[in-house]
Structure 1
């Protein structure tokens, strides 16, 4: 596997979409986004290696629910713009209201995002901010238990996002999300399919940090995918090696090359369980949510923990089936090896601040007593990141 090249072949463009839950519980998150969006975008441009403000386009989609659960709107799609002032004005029109049965129109918002006019040469990312699951995953009292009434399925959408190179990050607004039986496991699987991450927040004040950290890490990951993705995909799709085997080899070679990449450090608040791990695998490998539901196990109570022994991020690499679109499936198996915990608990180093975020060296002294819960660090590529690079490269290669 050749990883000798150090320079991407074209300048980096970024298409970034915010999907915002606009139901009654989301007022503090909408307010925080509105107040900080201009600084968030400025930090992304200045610290993400973008040449100019025009290289960043921001999209905004708000969602509530389908009638009769909500009669205001299902989704509100503002489209892409490079005018961040316009994004700010669009956010100011949103207010938290409505919602009915718990699950919301998440699937409809993902469908809208999938069908935006993404630039072919841009790195593509969605940040979904919500405290409720989509319809149809088996939650008590779901008004649309069979799934989204528009007929779309979030697992199918996630695989199409992955094939188009669109990475999904999910900001889990806690503790509300953990009140649902299957939401945490479902969103862990959904983000893993696209090589993204689930980021738990217990306060809206950390939202801007979560967004900036997610975007900056993803920009560095995208740079590496553009350099080595074709070779990685060829190895996996050709049946020569599993995702895990390729990721381990890639990790070793990137370490030898000495590239520095940003990595978002997130405090884990979840307690792991065998049932949760099983359910994540079921959601990940099922073609549709209805296919998955008969195989789910009842999870234990969703108490949270601040134990540093639980990994806050994990990469599911056991994908026996990879959708190639509506016409059929392509198949390539992978060995299962969970990513080791890379960080957790209160492992947040001291840092110089920029725009509310903190950026540190990986060997920085852990002498900051402020329990911020989110940090951005610069260091060597981790095995977890190498697995995400390998998985995303395989998805893009499967699309052709």
Structure 2
């Protein structure tokens, strides 16, 4: 309570100083204070939705989240006094490949106990051909009841491609039987201000890295390569901390994007990012950054950006080429790599990067285009 009183007092002092310095009466003290308090509350709301493949090969990853979900909540809340809600979307595959379910959605809750009960019931089994019902699961994400002013993050954890990306070994080579398109859905998420992080469980997902990188890129998110289940919760914690940290720059980005839109100009995302980044760099701005083994994550590749530019999955399929390094998953049998036991993830305070601002610009441009 004492901490809250101090924050409110500081806010009033800030408002009085601004009003005195500017000598303006356009907004009353109460109005300005209400705006700042609203902004403060917004910075501390986070809706975090997990989209998890629950076919047979994913058991170690489900277990990791289940065992460490309280640590995840405590770590995020402790770092920024965050009002956190959690949701879970499970997915498997379409019949006849899987006869249990295609997707199962659990809407937002503040309760760690409830989230843990969902994970306890998420038995990893089933899965037939390599591709899974990724598009169906993504389709459920916008249907969750996201809070309008919260930071919105969806984390897709996968070790197989969606139906329709590659024809070999795919029972539905033309795409999702329900007609859902993951590229189109990624754009919908972006327009609603939902940042998508894609977690690729290696080595099985290696051939499809550029595709999952493209989905994240479309929403201003990041692709996280994961070689060991043990790093999953640390990666999610670090990613959430980075996104919350970047929110303080959202107003600068929004102002520049709105200027372009209001002037009727084509939104040049790179130009806007350069302008905002130059300003922040001159001010010595810093932010949390997700690091893997003390290095930044790989930025979206040229191939990933080309896939993101496709109108549909069918168009993306024409230009998609699998990465080498793994044969991919077949029949849900491939497990995690043993080589990732030493990988570590952390959110470290560093000078704000151009890539971070570029991601904010992409998300804001998508929101204003809605």
Specify if TM > 0.5.
yes
Compute the displacement of 1:302 (Å). Answer: 2.7
Query: Residue by residue, what CA displacement relative to the aligned partner does 1:112-155 show, whole Å, maximum 9, x if unpaired?
Result: 11111111111111011110111111241111111111111001
Specify the alignment match of 1:22 in structure 2. 54
Q: Spell out the pairing of 1:58-137 with structure 2 (5 A cutoff).
A: 58-137=86-165
Q: What is the CA–CA distance in structure 1 between the aligned matches of 2:132 and 2:266, rounded to whole Å? A: 42
Structure with larger Rg: 2
Structure 1: distance between partners of 2:358 and 2:135: 26
Q: How much is the aligned-residue C-alpha RMSD, in angstroms?
A: 2.6
1:271 is displaced (CA, Å) by 10
Q: What is the CA-CA distance between 1:9 and the residue it aligns to?
A: 2.2
The alignment of Structure 1 onto Structure 2 pairs a total of residues equal to 319
**1:260 equivalent in alignment to 2:286:** yes
1:38 maps to 70
Q: Which runs of 5+ in 2 are unaligned?
A: 1-17, 19-35, 328-340
The 2-side partners of 1:76 and 1:283 are apart by: 28
The answer (yes or no) to whether the contact 1:19–1:61 under 8 Å persists in 2 is: yes
Unaligned 5+ runs, structure 1:
305-369
Give the match's secondary structure for 2:39: coil
* Higher RCO (CA < 8 A, seq sep 6+): 2
Alignment of 1:223-234 (within 5 A): 223-225=248-250, 227-234=251-258
Alignment of 1:209-220 (within 5 A): 209-220=234-245
Which secondary structure state, in structure 2, belongs to the residue aligned with residue 112 of structure 1?
helix
Q: What's the counterpart of residue 229 of structure 2?
A: 204
Match of 1:175 among 179, 203, 212: 203
Once residues 43 and 265 of structure 1 are traced to their aligned partners in structure 2, the CA distance between those partners, rounded to angstroms, is 16
* Equivalent residues of 1:271, 1:302 under 8 A apart: no
| Length-normalised TM-score, structure 1 | 0.74
Q: Contact 1:270–1:303 (CA<8 Å) still a contact in 2?
A: no
Shift of 1:106: 0.8
TM-superposed deviation, 1:61: 1.0
Distance 1:119 1:202, change over 3 A: same
* TM-score between both structures, scaled by the size of structure 2: 0.80
User: Where in structure 1 do 4 or more consecutive aligned residues deviate above 6 Å?
Assistant: 268-272
Report the 3-state secondary structure (helix = DSSP H, G, I; strand = E; otherwise coil) of the residue aligned with 1:19.
strand
2:183 matches 1:155: yes
